[in-house]
Structure 1
Amino acid sequence: MSHRATLTPQMLQYAEKFDDRGDIRWLPYLMYFHAADHRSEVVNTDRLGFRMSHGPDGQVAAPGGPLPEGPVRLLAGSSTAFGIGAGSDRHTLPSALWSRHAPSVPWLNFAGRSHNSAQELLLFTLYRHLLPKVDEIVLFSGFNNLGLSRLPASVRGDHGAFFNCNDFYGQMEELRARHRKASGGFGRFGGRRQAAPEPADTAVPELAEQIDLASELTLRHLDSWRLLAEGMGAKLTFVLQPLATWVREEPAPQEKLIFEELDRISNFGEVYGDISAMSAREAYSKELQVGCERMGVRYLDLNPVIADAIGKDDWLFVDRIHFTDEGHDLVAGLLARQLGLS
């Protein structure tokens, strides 16, 4: 049996419905979101696909219901905020905050797995009307935009690339090709159709440009979050999410086994090698911090905070970006203390 299956058996349940290689639920506007009304020992979602969060006295809440009367706090972001890696809903960041580390106000899980900053913002604008009064919004994000900034300009467009975008554009081009073939080369009114497009640019931007692209996009969308939060009377914080290689150079023993196994079946090093370096995190964090200060949004880079709080053998990650149950609990506690949440 593999180290991953032995050490993190819960990941098998995420693979079925909550993985890019699994059964993706495609949606208009958002492109994709989690399976709705999903039930398992590991993951449970509401009627819309939001993950359930748990409170200190057995309460359960989600944006699609059940909802507390209010006020509430939101943890938004992508898969780390959603809780990929947690052994159950009770061990995600929103649940750890609500049940143990900052329980004075209920926390809702408002995250979307594999979302970029545009999708995170759109998810909030589409479902904000369901919420009671919101006191606090913590946007726990940052890595996906940086990872996606490596893709060529032809797929980044005006609002950034998204995961599975190559599949999307490839399928669209196949559809156009079938239409061209079926029409014999002529359009609806007899005019000759456009020829197939030239191959798209595939050049990968240099690291400095990737950081600039990701920072600009993240801050642009964060400014819209700021306007929405101000209108709701909610406090907004942007947290640069942790990455295993941004926290420490040498992984814990269990992490080392898992990472080596994952590297044999994926191309993480090839795809993310340069942006996973400590120096890349420092440059990216500096740009985000300056932008947040300029717009008056509280900013926190959790990576050095975690690095100062752990020992060399503390096992935090199930892969390079998602936490174990103990990792979720540690990070939730650090987050609550750093932000002064009760």
Structure 2
Amino acid sequence: MKPFAYLRPASVAEAVRVSAATPGARFLGGGTNLVDLMKLGVETPGLVIDVSRLPLDRVTRTDDGGLRIGATVRNSDLAAHPDVRADHPALSQALLAGASGQLRNTATTGGNLLQRTRCPYFQDITKPCNKRDPGSGCPAREGAHRDLAVLGHSPHCVATNPSDMAVALAALDATVLLHGPEGERAVPVTDFHRLPGDNPDQDTVIRPGELITEVVLPPPPDGAVSLYRKARDRASYAFALASVAAVLAVRDGRVAHVSLAFGALAHRPWRARAAEDVLRGATADRETFARAVEAELEAARPLRDNGFKVDLARRTAFGALTELASRAAPND
């Protein structure tokens, strides 16, 4: 690990000011991803700004009945929070499906959103990687890509976003609040992460100096139920091969509300807009669910060794929607 300077700011304003004035500085929350990347030589910040002690560690109600989640709330605490478990079980399930208990006790909400891909070429500084070294190439396309993207990838990058939590937040229509040199702004989670395009080194739309301060969840739709399902090689300590977060409300046998997001299939959590268009207002039955999922996955472009992920995602999403329909209570 290369030498670096360390700062523990007294306020959000100080953290942002110093970060904006120091190119290459990195914010440190729990450190469960950043420190690993520093040890590997992938991240080499000259300054680490420790924001873990800032007063951003609370979950509170919004005026309309939603939730405000501070950026330093630990994953374990968020998963166990009674309001999250009651109103947004998909989020709690997604958090509990990620990593180990020890890591969840340390990892933060903001850090989880900013964690970087686990593509082996990205993590190995002896190999080319457009995400780590723009213009050097993407050997994963012809190399080891079993776990990598089938949706939204480009000739420059086939990496996937590793977060479970972000998939649930995408389905729950969450918003990320950012504090930067120009003030505060709000970005929908569905717009926060980028597809690789020609600039795969840019994971998110976050601007230099900006700090995630909160994630805001709207109140759940009337009568809606939600869940998160994750398919992986082993039952614990494994990243997803395909995952699904879904929110569904049924009224008079028809879909009154639906939101669906896939994980582990793309460079960002993949909000399934095409599937939602098929489902909205349609009969809540197995035939409709199958047709909707198929409509979404028509866009998949698997590589040589990861075509199985398309069928895995299809089965996982169909199972999730079927289960939710059996539990969704009509809203009379």
TM-score tier (shorter): under 0.3
Larger fraction in helix: 1
TM-score by length of 2: 0.26
